[in-house]
Amino acid sequence: MILWPLLAIQVNVNWHLVPLALVISLVYRASRYEDPERILRSAARLFITILLGMGAAFSLLFVLSFGL
């Protein structure tokens, strides 16, 4: 019996946002700089910024939809 379709249904889509933000920050910073140390440092900073921005957007939408 194949369980993969059942596992795919139960996974929350929001868990894909963290690796997506990580990949976006790494690729974006790697296209800007050539030094690996600088790429990782600035990619980590951008990753945190993206996560904080998504968290702020989620919080705002949660507050706005609280009474609905």
Q: Confidence band (pLDDT; 50, 70, 90) for 6? A: low
Q: Residues 11-56: pLDDT tens digits? A: 677 788 999 999 999 999 999 999 999 999 999 999 999 999 999 9
Max intra-chain CA distance, the chain: 49
Residue 59 lies in a domain: yes
Residue-level pLDDT at 43: 97
Residue 22 lies in a domain: yes
Residue 48 lies in a domain: yes
Are the C-beta atoms of 38 and 47 separated by less than 8 Å?
no
Total domains in the fold of the chain: 1
Residue-level pLDDT at 15: 81
CB count, 10 Å around CB of 21? 18
Q: Which domain holds residue 39?
A: 14-64
